[in-house]
Structure 1
Amino acid sequence: MLLNQPMTVVPDSVRRAALVVAAELAVTLAAWAALRTLDLHQSPLPALLLAWGACFVLYTAPVQDRLARPGRSHAPSLVLTSAAVWIAMTTTELPSIYPVVIGALAMEVAQRDASTRTALTGLAAMFLGTAASQVAVHHGWVSSVIGPVPSDHLAVVLVTVGGVVLVRGVALARRSASTRAALVQEQRRRHEELQHAAAHDSLTGLLSRRGLEPVARAASAQARPGRGVALMFLDLDGFKAVNDSHGHGVGDELLACAAARFAGALGPDAVLARMGGDEFVAVLREMPSPAAAVARARAVQDSLGEEFRLDEPGIPVRIGVSVGLAWAEQPTAVDTLMRDADRAMYRDKRCREGDRRRVIVLDDSDRGVFQTVEDLAQQP
């Protein structure tokens, strides 16, 4: 063999199927030897092995999977397998036992798709195959160690047994399939709930830090002139005093109310996330200019202009928010934007001293210079 010739890899399923067929043929050969030892009439060994070997091969999982299309009924493959079993049964000289054999086989095949169509196909194959066997026995076309009349009696009994086995087996399969489907649906629902919980903040319902990362990464990667990305860092002013004075329950309610106002001010095309504590981050995608991002930042600050009326009576609360913006018109690392917006926000918090409309923006064109809103708003 040439060294560069590719080797053929036999799949594990085919290898296992070949071992099963070999074991089944060995059992068939042992049965033939036992009948020969007892000096009972039997079919020639080559015909026996050929007929049952074809039946065993057709019944293996790889062949059944190839015969049955994915997601479709196994009825066509059952018809072919039933015909092979009928031919194999003619070598046993007991063709009247065909019903119970095909009933057990049809039950197992029908359990794979729990299909009524497959079950009805199995019943039809059982009745037609049994009728054909008995007609062949009466005309002497097929050899039988039992006379025609006793063979008819045995066939009727075994048809009843095989039919009951098939119907009960399919009923159990359908019940099992329904249970599995319910379990899969429940697992999918739980998985979706866990994914949602991992990516969202439980208090506000906003994205969490983990949930924001892929959104911010995608937005920053698509930034280009005329359709830039702005990352807005928000930090509440005065929240700690409210939280310390009135308790964490009031503080949590205030955070949820502030988040709702931020979301309304930013609009549906922005992505808002809570980073932890009283810090929020917003991602503004496809912004035409820095001035447009500044307008959104001012809208966020204005949204806190009215005091909050919390559920606990007698506690009107007024807070502010410090905002820092980082702007990019070309693909930029998210970590860079986050760092720049965070630095701009802290500078805004230190510098504005009561001017709640002041927003500090760090432009990616000159990361060493902080620009005020007034300067940035004048840019086209």
Structure 2
Amino acid sequence: MHEQVVLLRRRLALTAAPLAGAAGASGAGLVADRVGLDVPLGLVALLGALLGVMAVRPVRLRIERWSTGPAGVLTGLTAALLLAAMLTLLGLSVLVPAVVTSTASYSVQMAPTRARVGQNLAVILGVSALSLGAHAGGLVDGVIGPTLASLLGATLLLFTLPTLVNTADGARRAERTARALDAERHEHVRELEHAARHDQLTGLLSRRGLAEPLDRAATGAAPAAQTAVLFIDLDGFKAVNDAFGHAAGDELLVAAARRLRRSVREDDVVARTGGDEFVVVMSALSDAHEAEATAERIRVAIARPFALAAGPAHLGASTGVVVTPTPRTAEALLAEADAAMYAAKRGRQGRARVGSG
């Protein structure tokens, strides 16, 4: 029902606008005829109807789209000629320079390039010369004499032509501002998306950022391209916080994340999922030994002493490893790796140490 109403409104507009344009032009023609001018009412009415069609919103929007492309000069020239012809036939050729300049300014606003400004300047001068020349040559009548009309027309050109350049300059500045604002908005969105997917402290992926690559790796597992999930928990991290404070704990997490990142392949996915827990996702493995070797490298790397600003600290790493040669759900792999990590933690004999002793 709504679409039918919209369609009806469009049809009414397409009918009413030409009629209104024709009626307005005919009325102006009758007035001109009353003051003694020879006006072809039929032609004036036709021009008014055409201008009315161009004012209808769907047509106007299409003309605007054309105005931004290579056909922009042609559409601007068409509109200028229609306006100039109607005004000239009504004896108002003196107004043509100002009216055509307004039309050209609108065209330049759609595409504010130097080339378009130059093209529209040529249109303004050419159409104004045709209109004033037709009056001066006696082809049409005018409300004022041809000499005075030419003088006033030239004066109007002097005052109105600078607006064309100013319009283009203003439109260019508006475009630059809009592009800058759009770039700033995109950068802000990118930063927000990055912050939502990454751990602010370590720069690794967060639990949310891990979801997509983990799901892709889990569902893409195959016998010749196996997927492994390593769940890592830092042993003794709480002791560092208790002994040195949270700032030292943050420093330790950043250092541990750096060592963890250096212990895996370049294309492996590394995430901090919370507290002192980390996850590594490995794809395209030929066998499970690669994952076990990576877990061992991580344990060795974490076991080396950390030189913190507050003093030396020692940690261990409990790792749970799950390898699958067939597609699995991400949740199942992560839960199994988590359980394997806790089993490894329960089986550890040593304790992590804080300080040099």
TM bucket (normalised to shorter chain) is 0.7 to 0.9
**Structure 2 CA distance, aligned partners of 1:74 and 1:308?**
68
SS of the aligned residue for 2:302 comes to coil
8 A Cα contact 2:104 2:120, kept in partner: yes
Counterpart of 2:102 in structure 1 is: 104
1:160 to 148, 158, 161: 158
Q: CA deviation at 1:343?
A: 0.8
Q: CA deviation at 1:27?
A: 6.2
**Structure 1 CA distance, aligned partners of 2:97 and 2:15?**
22
Q: Which amino acid aligns with 2:171?
A: A
8 A Cα contact 1:21 1:56, kept in partner: no
Counterpart of 1:36 in structure 2 is: 30
Larger mean Cα displacement after TM superposition, 126-135 or 72-81: 72-81
Counterpart of 1:142 in structure 2 is: 140
8 A Cα contact 2:18 2:51, kept in partner: no
Matched, 1:188 2:179: no
- In structure 2, the CA distance between the partners of 1:332 and 1:159, relative to structure 1 (3 Å rule), is same
Per-residue deviation, residues 285-315 of structure 1 (Å, max 9, x unmatched): 1111111111111111111131000123xx1
Q: CA deviation at 1:265?
A: 0.2
**Structure 2 CA distance, aligned partners of 1:213 and 1:247?**
31
Identical residues among aligned pairs (%) = 33
- In structure 2, the CA distance between the partners of 1:34 and 1:80, relative to structure 1 (3 Å rule), is closer
1:47 to 43, 47, 57: 43
SS of the aligned residue for 1:347 comes to helix
SS of the aligned residue for 1:174 comes to helix
8 A Cα contact 1:133 1:142, kept in partner: no
Matched, 1:354 2:350: yes
Larger mean Cα displacement after TM superposition, 178-187 or 33-42: 33-42
Matched, 1:26 2:20: yes
Per-residue deviation, residues 32-68 of structure 1 (Å, max 9, x unmatched): 4366368234634442232133234446433214524
**Structure 2 CA distance, aligned partners of 1:77 and 1:11?**
30
**Structure 1 CA distance, aligned partners of 2:179 and 2:323?**
49
Higher share of residues assigned helix: 2
**Structure 2 CA distance, aligned partners of 1:11 and 1:219?**
52
**Structure 2 CA distance, aligned partners of 1:120 and 1:285?**
60
Counterpart of 1:228 in structure 2 is: 226
Counterpart of 2:205 in structure 1 is: 207
Q: CA deviation at 1:271?
A: 0.9
TM-score relative to the length of structure 2 = 0.87
**Structure 2 CA distance, aligned partners of 1:353 and 1:221?**
36
Q: How does 1:252-291 map to 2 (within 5 A)?
A: 252-291=250-289
Q: CA deviation at 1:274?
A: 0.8
Counterpart of 1:332 in structure 2 is: 328
- In structure 2, the CA distance between the partners of 1:288 and 1:170, relative to structure 1 (3 Å rule), is same
8 A Cα contact 1:101 1:162, kept in partner: no
Q: CA deviation at 1:84?
A: 3.1
**Structure 2 CA distance, aligned partners of 1:293 and 1:171?**
62
Per-residue deviation, residues 138-163 of structure 1 (Å, max 9, x unmatched): 22233323222111101101111220
Counterpart of 1:377 in structure 2 is: none
Q: How does 1:114-129 map to 2 (within 5 A)?
A: 114-129=112-127
TM-score relative to the length of structure 1 = 0.82
Q: CA deviation at 1:86?
A: 3.0
8 A Cα contact 1:233 1:279, kept in partner: yes
**Structure 1 CA distance, aligned partners of 2:267 and 2:107?**
53
**Structure 2 CA distance, aligned partners of 1:79 and 1:34?**
23
Q: CA deviation at 1:21?
A: 8.6
Q: CA deviation at 1:185?
A: 1.3
Counterpart of 2:355 in structure 1 is: none
Counterpart of 1:366 in structure 2 is: none
Counterpart of 2:248 in structure 1 is: 250
Q: CA deviation at 1:81?
A: 2.8
8 A Cα contact 1:96 1:154, kept in partner: yes
Per-residue deviation, residues 65-118 of structure 1 (Å, max 9, x unmatched): 452466x68334323333333333333221231111111111122112322222
Larger mean Cα displacement after TM superposition, 60-69 or 299-308: 60-69
Q: Which amino acid aligns with 1:336?
A: A
**Structure 1 CA distance, aligned partners of 2:8 and 2:166?**
31
Matched, 1:343 2:339: yes
Counterpart of 1:170 in structure 2 is: 168
8 A Cα contact 1:17 1:62, kept in partner: no
8 A Cα contact 1:75 1:121, kept in partner: yes
Q: Relative contact order (C-alpha < 8 Å, sep 6+): which is higher? A: 2
In the alignment, structure 1 segments of 5+ residues that lack a partner are 1-6, 357-380
Counterpart of 2:214 in structure 1 is: 216
8 A Cα contact 2:24 2:48, kept in partner: no
SS of the aligned residue for 1:280 comes to strand
8 A Cα contact 1:78 1:121, kept in partner: no
